[in-house]
Amino acid sequence: MRKKIVAGNWKMNTTVPEGVELAKAVVARSAEVPAGVGLIVATPFTHLCPVAGVVGGTRVELSAENCADKEKGAYTGEVSAAMVASTGAQWTILGHSERRQYYGETDEKLVEKVKLALANGLKVILCVGENLEEREAGRHFEVVKTQIENVLFQFTAEEMASIVVAYEPVWAIGTGKTATAGQAEEIHACIRQILAGHFGAQVADDTTILYGGSCKPSNAKELFAQPDIDGGLIGGAALKADDFIGIALSF
């Protein structure tokens, strides 16, 4: 049975002390969330160690927002998967549309990143999703299918047990414009079908598929009620512990 997850993507927000306070506030309310719902906070690299100190030993898991596509060496400014794992983080987000759009993250680089993350014992939240132009041209299914084929099809069914997919339509991220529950479910079901076609029904059934894009306490219930939506990757609303927990209470 696949796991339900609510993950907060803090992006480039909060100073270290602010992040520590936010993590403490999430931990403080985490007991209210049903035991079957996984809670993850994804923080900037600088915050991983201190936040690990806050969430360690609690039910809240820790994630990075990215990691390098190289193992180690002369790559100034990069942070490797091994470094992320050594902070105590169990997860990393990879392939977020902001990384793809602003930092030239290609599917080829993502394959390397996913490989290194898994090799270092990290679980991965892999983001896919179409932009507005692609959606308006009716190409959303094709775009998402290509992203999945290019990246996930390079991994085995066994490795898929450590990978969560996040469908995030770019036009819904940070815009206040959420995909309707119907629009989101349609793509989630299609993603599951694509996974079933390649990895088999069991892997497809066991893979957690999150929705991301202006998810908030007021719309999470309807989204999470869809059969193929297993939770959310939350940006803006994850910066307030009460909103983040409110979303996690929407199952």
Catalytic residues: 96, 168
Q: How far is the CB of 203 from ligand PGA (least distance, A)?
A: 24
**Residue 62 within binding range of ligand PGA, rule CB under 6 A:** no
In the three-class reduction of DSSP (H, G, I as helix; E, B as strand; rest coil), residue 38 is classed as strand
Binding mask 163-182 for ligand PGA (x = CB under 6 A): -----x----xx--------
**For residues 87 and 236, which CB has a smaller minimum distance to ligand PGA in the complex?**
236
Q: How far is the CB of 237 from ligand PGA (least distance, A)?
A: 6
For residue 33, what are its two tokens? 């969330």
**Residue 213 within binding range of ligand PGA, rule CB under 6 A:** yes
159 within 8 A of 118, measured Cβ to Cβ: yes
**Residue 9 within binding range of ligand PGA, rule CB under 6 A:** yes
Q: What is the DSSP string of 192-236?
A: HHHHHHHH-HHHHHH--EEEESS--HHHHHHHHTSTT--EEEESG
CA distance 186 to 188: 6
CA distance 239 to 169: 20
**Residue 236 within binding range of ligand PGA, rule CB under 6 A:** yes
**Residue 8 within binding range of ligand PGA, rule CB under 6 A:** no
Residue nearest to ligand PGA (CB): 235
Which residue in 94, 152, 234, 248 binds ligand PGA (CB under 6 A)?
234
Please report, for residues 85, 125, 135, the alpha-carbon distance to residue 58 in angstroms, rounded to integers and kept in the order given.
17, 20, 40
> If we measure between CA atoms, which residue out of 84, 9, 76 comes closest to residue 42?
9
CA distance 35 to 177: 30
Q: How far is the CB of 168 from ligand PGA (least distance, A)?
A: 6
Q: How many residues bind ligand PGA (CB under 6 A)?
A: 13
Which residue in 87, 214, 219, 250 binds ligand PGA (CB under 6 A)?
214
**For residues 199 and 213, which CB has a smaller minimum distance to ligand PGA in the complex?**
213
> If we measure between CA atoms, which residue out of 89, 117, 108, 110 comes closest to residue 10?
89
Q: How far is the CB of 245 from ligand PGA (least distance, A)?
A: 15
Question: Which residues lie near ligand PGA (CB under 6 A)?
Answer: 9, 168, 173-174, 212-215, 233-237
